[in-house]
Structure 1
């Protein structure tokens, strides 16, 4: 329970800290949304890694983003130190009343302390059970139940000292009007003027991917003249090669590749206009769930409890329902083994058709 003192505070400037990957950043939006609802007069800022900026830059409740560029370490010790000092100066200049640190890195803890905010909330991570971590924060929230919670619920639990419930947590993905118009014009340029499905079968980790042949077979059963299937992927060369291979295996002419063509906010605009999204455990999958686009998510040896799509119009197809899987903690992330291969095409097609009312 939150103390009456914290539950009744009225902060004017709030900083949220999270230093993780793209999907992780999207799953912080329930915290941002809840803070904005509770404190509509407050300025809300976020500290994050440079590469994850697209996930939050269009969020209407965020005033500004403080950036850490992981390339600083390549500029030499003195230049890196100058960047860090400038960051701390910027943070202090904002005069935060409240800092909420969702991160577990020491860097995040130290920035929390150096912000000089009178209220500094963090998590009581087991690996940070020491005096310095406690010195960085003056309110620590237990993580004892985090193993049973979705990542959204974990993040929302940081708001307990403020008396904010995690009930009704809502993930949101935002994009600009320019992004929307760019996507719509790209669709027209590619002859797409009817309903479409988005399929993003790629991940930066191969072990999260389905077999190319099964992706192609699924597409062939869903694509038709008045309903295109659009293949998407990151600009990464490996992902684009995978998409080219999948497209070469497709017999249907109603398949269009827009792989590597969009930024993440532009991809969000595309997914927002789709009838259906089919993908693997990845940031675009979380984007589809946040946009309330019907979503079929294929999972392998991943902690489903933490990373399943958050929302109402989602269907998870888990390889573990078809055969044994290794523990997620035992996976060599560099392996090329595709643990999703035991998922049958007909089950994915049936799930898709249920959303398409066929």
Structure 2
């Protein structure tokens, strides 16, 4: 039995689809899976159980990447094809049952959208996987028996990136004697290509407190590191959704993106957003590539209060569970 699972190019959307993938893995424990996704997201699935192979869809002119997928997968008889990108060619794949996401509903969170595709009774939140190599690498990168605050100060475009000086103020408050994580280590996460906007934060954290992981770590190792942290705060990004999958308290900072679609998923998560409403953030000369941060109306006080509220909620839930 073989199942083809076609998911996103972007890390965040790919992570948000993994709950659906996990449901299929649990439902078909004997199946062999082929994952088709973009090159940036592909490493997420390195340790996914039952995966036979990963087809990397590198975008090409005239949608030729779909033709490449056909050449690779179009002559296999599939038990199921799950296409979250509604590709123009996957309707032709030989399959007992094909399921396509026909439209991008802008009223639904991505987790709900993907889960509704298979009519799951409960939305399936993100799930990620690691192997022993990833776990051992994380053990070397993070100190044992330390409280660690994870921070995602980067994003894939400048407009939704909170300024580094705001992050510095926030993490100093959170790890102060009267903060939610007194004297915690601070682990910084992000890709090497996004390092420049975070440089002020990197340079101004004490060396004995800072764990600088902004670089080229593979995604499963990043996930293994996140599992060892006690709290995450960061911009709306793929990292935020990976923290959600790690089941640590996750606070997402939002401005020019919509939390109703992309909020971190689960009872262990929360969001805070700019005082300026979403639609009012975009001026006539908005340029996705060049416009500076649109997050300035999200104050450090607002973010700190959001972190405090989430932490208090988590502690209350733990207390009720232990009773």
TM range (shorter): 0.7 to 0.9
Structure 2: tracts of 5 or more residues without a match: 177-181, 316-323
The Cα shift of 1:205 comes to: 0.4
Q: For 2:291 and 2:67, locate their aligned partners in 1 and report how far apart those are by CA, in whole Å.
A: 41
Residue of structure 2 aligned with 1:46, choices 8, 19, 35: 35
Match of 2:172 in 1: 220
More helix by share: 1
The Cα shift of 1:95 comes to: 1.7
Match of 1:103 in 2: 85
Residue of structure 1 aligned with 2:139, choices 184, 190, 210: 184
Question: Quick one: structure 1 residues 256 and 30, their matched pair in 2 at CA, closer, same or farther if it must change by over 3 Å?
Answer: closer
The Cα shift of 1:25 comes to: 0.9
Question: Quick one: structure 1 residues 356 and 119, their matched pair in 2 at CA, closer, same or farther if it must change by over 3 Å?
Answer: closer
Q: For 1:40 and 1:15, locate their aligned partners in 2 and report how far apart those are by CA, in whole Å.
A: 14
1:340 aligns with 2:295: yes
Residue of structure 2 aligned with 1:30, choices 11, 14, 19: 19
Q: For 2:33 and 2:161, locate their aligned partners in 1 and report how far apart those are by CA, in whole Å.
A: 36
Residue of structure 1 aligned with 2:146, choices 179, 190, 194: 194
1:34-113 mapped onto 2 (5 Å cutoff)? 34-70=23-59, 87-104=69-86, 108-110=87-89, 112-113=90-91
Q: Tell me the SS of whatever aligns to 1:66.
A: strand
Match of 2:321 in 1: none
Q: For 1:328 and 1:159, locate their aligned partners in 2 and report how far apart those are by CA, in whole Å.
A: 35
Match of 2:6 in 1: 17
Task: Answer yes or no: is the 8 Å Cα contact 1:292–1:313 preserved in 2.
Answer: yes
Q: For 1:324 and 1:351, locate their aligned partners in 2 and report how far apart those are by CA, in whole Å.
A: 17
Question: Quick one: structure 1 residues 218 and 86, their matched pair in 2 at CA, closer, same or farther if it must change by over 3 Å?
Answer: closer
> Can you list the C-alpha shifts for 1:319-348, whole angstroms capped at 9, x where unaligned?
1xx233436888531243322211121232
The Cα shift of 1:118 comes to: 3.7
Q: For 1:109 and 1:329, locate their aligned partners in 2 and report how far apart those are by CA, in whole Å.
A: 33
Match of 2:189 in 1: 232
| Count of equivalent residues | 306
Q: Tell me the SS of whatever aligns to 1:232.
A: strand
Q: Tell me the SS of whatever aligns to 1:97.
A: strand
1:141-180 mapped onto 2 (5 Å cutoff)? 146-160=105-119, 165-180=120-135
Structure 1: tracts of 5 or more residues without a match: 1-11, 126-142
Task: Answer yes or no: is the 8 Å Cα contact 1:281–1:299 preserved in 2.
Answer: yes
Q: For 2:108 and 2:223, locate their aligned partners in 1 and report how far apart those are by CA, in whole Å.
A: 26
Match of 1:138 in 2: none
Q: Tell me the SS of whatever aligns to 1:54.
A: helix
The Cα shift of 1:155 comes to: 1.4
Match of 1:4 in 2: none
Question: Quick one: structure 1 residues 124 and 256, their matched pair in 2 at CA, closer, same or farther if it must change by over 3 Å?
Answer: closer
Q: For 2:68 and 2:109, locate their aligned partners in 1 and report how far apart those are by CA, in whole Å.
A: 35
1:254 aligns with 2:240: no
Match of 1:134 in 2: none
Q: For 2:31 and 2:116, locate their aligned partners in 1 and report how far apart those are by CA, in whole Å.
A: 20
Q: For 2:249 and 2:13, locate their aligned partners in 1 and report how far apart those are by CA, in whole Å.
A: 20
Calculate the TM-score normalised by the size of structure 2. Answer: 0.84
Task: Answer yes or no: is the 8 Å Cα contact 1:220–1:251 preserved in 2.
Answer: no
The Cα shift of 1:85 comes to: 6.5
Question: Quick one: structure 1 residues 16 and 252, their matched pair in 2 at CA, closer, same or farther if it must change by over 3 Å?
Answer: closer
Calculate the TM-score normalised by the size of structure 1. Answer: 0.76
Match of 2:277 in 1: 324
Q: Tell me the SS of whatever aligns to 1:203.
A: coil
Q: For 1:59 and 1:276, locate their aligned partners in 2 and report how far apart those are by CA, in whole Å.
A: 25
Q: Which has the larger radius of gyration?
A: 1
Match of 2:253 in 1: 298
